[in-house]
Amino acid sequence: MSGCAHSVAVRNVTLRFGGVTALNDVSFDLGAGTLGALIGPNGAGKTSLFNCLSGLYRPTSGSVEIAGTDVTRLSTHRIARLGIARTFQSPSLFKGLDVIENLMMGTYMESSGGILTSAFRAPGFAASEAGQRERAEEILDLLEIPQHRHASVEDLPYGLQKRVEFGRALAARPRLLLLDEPMAGMTLEEKEDMVAFIFEARERIGFTLLLVEHDMGVVMEIAEHIVVLNFGRKLSEGTPAQVRGDPSVVAAYLGEDADAGRQEAAADA
What residues make contact with another protein under the rule CB under 8 A? 54-56, 75-77, 80-81, 84-86, 88, 92-96, 105-106, 108-109, 111-113, 115, 117-121, 125, 168, 172
β-pairing, 20-30 vs 208-212, is unpaired
Are 244 and 253 in contact by the 8 Å Cβ rule? The answer is: no
Residues 16-43 as b or e (16 or more Cβ within 10 Å = b): eeeeebbbbebebebeebbbbbbbbeee
Q: In the complex with another protein, which residue's Cβ is closer, 59 or 106? A: 106
CA atoms within 13 A on the CB side of 210: 30
Contact between residue 170 and residue 205 where contact means Cβ atoms under 8 Å apart? yes
CB of 228 to another protein, least distance (A): 26
Cα separations in angstroms, 78 against 70, 71, 92: 12, 9, 19
Query: Please, which residue, 79 or 228, has the CB nearer to another protein?
Result: 79
| Closer Cβ to another protein, 115 or 267, answer by number | 115
Nearer CB in complex with another protein: 181/246: 181
Q: How many CB atoms lie within 10 A of CB 201?
A: 21
Among 180, 159, 173, 211, smallest CA distance to 87 is for: 180
Which residue's CB is nearer to another protein, number 107 or number 230? 107
Task: State the nearest-atom distance from the C-beta of 115 to another protein, in Å.
Answer: 7
* Least Cβ distance, residue 223 to another protein (angstroms): 23
- In the complex, minimum distance from the CB of residue 119 to another protein, in angstroms, rounded to a whole number: 5
The length of the chain, given as a count of residues: 269
Report, in Å, the least distance between residue 177 CB and another protein: 11
Return the SS3 of 238. Answer: strand
| Residue closer to another protein, measured from CB, 205 or 219 | 205
Q: How far is the CB of 108 from another protein (least distance, A)?
A: 4
CB 22 within 8 A of CB 232: yes
CB of 154 to another protein, least distance (A): 11
- Please report, as a single letter, which amino acid is at residue 198: I
Contact 102, 140 (CB under 8 A): no
Pick 121 or 256: Cβ nearer another protein: 121
